[in-house]
Amino acid sequence: MVQETTVPFMQGKVSEAKVHFERALDCKHTEFDDLYPYMIEHPQFFWYKRYVAWSELLTIVKLCQELDVPWRHLFSVQQAEYVDKRVMSAKVLDYWFEKNDTREHVGH
């Protein structure tokens, strides 16, 4: 059985990873930029940054699943489906923010 404090902690980690991924999609500054500042000069940087953020998100969701921590409510239905499929496809990159024909982007 998961401790009561584990559920909000893990859901917080999922939310943080989601924001990290969305910031990477929008080419905004992330903690990855601080770790590898030299990569900004390379064209493949944004692809790699997105891959790292996606991997982090999938890892945390997998831990939630193993701990029976609810996570789906933190995503749109479409986003949860992308996470379930686990593949960061062009569709994920192009339609992650789509919701009722509008684009929602991460602030900051």
51-100: pLDDT as tens digits? 999 999 999 999 999 999 999 999 999 999 999 999 999 999 999 997 64
**42: DSSP letter:** S
Q: Give mean pLDDT, residues 3-23.
A: 94
Per-state percent for the chain, helix, strand, coil, to nearest 5: 65, 5, 30
Structure confidence at residue 102 (pLDDT): 45
In this structure, are residues 18 and 53 in contact, taking their beta carbons and an 8 Å threshold? no
**Position with higher pLDDT, 43 vs 83:** 83
In this structure, are residues 46 and 88 in contact, taking their beta carbons and an 8 Å threshold? no
CA distances from 1 to 47, 68, 74 (A): 38, 9, 22
